Amino acid sequence: MLSRKITSDSHGQDSSYFLGWEAYEKNSYHEVENPSGIIQMGLAENQLSFDLLESWLAENPEAIGLKRTSGESLFKDLALFQDYHGLSAFKNELVEFMSKIRGNKVKFDANKLVLTAGATSANETLMFCLADPGDAFLLPIPYYPGFDRDLKWRTGVEIVPIKCSSSNGFRITSCALEEAYLQAQDQGLKVKGVLVTNPSNPLGTTLTPDEIDLLIDFAIEKEAHIVSDEIYSGTVFDSPSFVSIAEAIKDRNLESSDVFSRVHIVYSLSKDLGVPGFRVGMIYSNDEQVVSAATKMSSFGLVSSQTQYMFSQLFADKKFTAKYMKENLKRLRKRKEIIVSGLKSAGIKCLKSNACLFVWVDMRNLLSSNSFDAEMELWKRIVYEVGLNVSPGSSCHCSEPGWFRMCFANMSEETLHVALQRLKAFAETLIKSKQQQQFGLSFSRTRSLTRWVFQLASDHDHRETDR
Using the predicted structure, report yes or no on whether residue 455 has a pLDDT greater than 90.
no
Nearest 5 degrees, angle CA 67-CA 53-CA 103?
105
Query: Which one of 91, 271, 283, 339 is the catalytic residue?
Result: 271
Which stretch of 172-186, 275-289, 395-409, 447-461 has the lowest confidence by average pLDDT? 447-461
Using the predicted structure, report yes or no on whether residue 453 has a pLDDT greater than 60.
no
Using the predicted structure, report yes or no on whether residue 451 has a pLDDT greater than 80.
no
**What confidence score (pLDDT) does residue 299 get?**
85
User: Confidence band (pLDDT; 50, 70, 90) for 1?
Assistant: confident
Using the predicted structure, report yes or no on whether residue 458 has a pLDDT greater than 60.
no
Residues 6+ apart with CB under 8 A from 188: none
Query: Which one of 229, 272, 287, 362 is the catalytic residue?
Result: 229
Cα→Cα distances 68→236, 316, 354, Å:
34, 13, 40
**What confidence score (pLDDT) does residue 65 get?**
79
Residue extent(s) of CATH 3.90.1150.10 domains in the chain: 4-50+329-427
User: Confidence band (pLDDT; 50, 70, 90) for 15?
Assistant: low
Using the predicted structure, report yes or no on whether residue 354 has a pLDDT greater than 90.
yes
Query: Which one of 101, 212, 231, 265 is the catalytic residue?
Result: 231
Using the predicted structure, report yes or no on whether residue 40 has a pLDDT greater than 90.
yes
| R_g of the chain computed on alpha carbons | 26
Residue, of 350 and 300, whose pLDDT is higher: 350
Query: Which one of 17, 143, 144, 284 is the catalytic residue?
Result: 144
**What confidence score (pLDDT) does residue 464 get?**
41
Residue, of 450 and 328, whose pLDDT is higher: 328
pLDDT tens digits along 222-274: 999 999 999 999 999 999 999 999 999 999 999 999 999 999 999 999 999 99
CATH node for 51-320: 3.40.640.10
Task: Check: CB of residue 21 under 8 Å from CB of residue 371.
Answer: no
Residues above pLDDT 70, as percent of the chain: 91
Using the predicted structure, report yes or no on whether residue 339 has a pLDDT greater than 50.
yes
Residue, of 62 and 8, whose pLDDT is higher: 62
pLDDT tens digits along 52-86: 999 999 999 888 877 777 777 877 777 776 777 88
> Buried (b) or exposed (e) across 360-399, using 16+ Cβ within 10 A?
bbbbbebbeeeebebbeebbeebbeebbbbbbbbbbbbbb
Cα→Cα distances 437→342, 441, 442, Å:
26, 6, 8
**Quick count: other Cβ atoms within 10 Å of Cβ 21?**
18
Residue, of 16 and 155, whose pLDDT is higher: 155
**What confidence score (pLDDT) does residue 6 get?**
66
**What confidence score (pLDDT) does residue 438 get?**
65
Say yes or no: domain 4-50+329-427 is CATH 3.80.10.10: no
231 tagged catalytic: yes
C-alpha 308/C-alpha 351 separation (Å) is 37
DSSP per-residue codes, 318-351: HHHHHHHHHHHHHHHHHHHHHHHHHHHHTT-EE-
284 tagged catalytic: no
Burial of 401 per CB tally in 10 Å (0-12, 13-18, 19+): buried
**Overall average pLDDT of the 98-122 stretch:** 95
Using the predicted structure, report yes or no on whether residue 7 has a pLDDT greater than 80.
no
229 tagged catalytic: yes
Task: Check: CB of residue 235 under 8 Å from CB of residue 357.
Answer: yes
pLDDT tens digits along 149-202: 999 999 999 999 999 999 999 999 999 999 999 999 999 999 999 999 999 999
User: Confidence band (pLDDT; 50, 70, 90) for 4?
Assistant: confident
DSSP 35: T
User: Confidence band (pLDDT; 50, 70, 90) for 11?
Assistant: low
Using the predicted structure, report yes or no on whether residue 49 has a pLDDT greater than 80.
yes
Residue extent(s) of CATH 3.40.640.10 domains in the chain: 51-320
**Overall average pLDDT of the 446-456 stretch:** 51
**What confidence score (pLDDT) does residue 55 get?**
94
What value does the mean pLDDT of the chain take?
90
**Overall average pLDDT of the 348-352 stretch:** 97
**Overall average pLDDT of the 393-412 stretch:** 96
434 tagged catalytic: no
**What confidence score (pLDDT) does residue 308 get?**
92
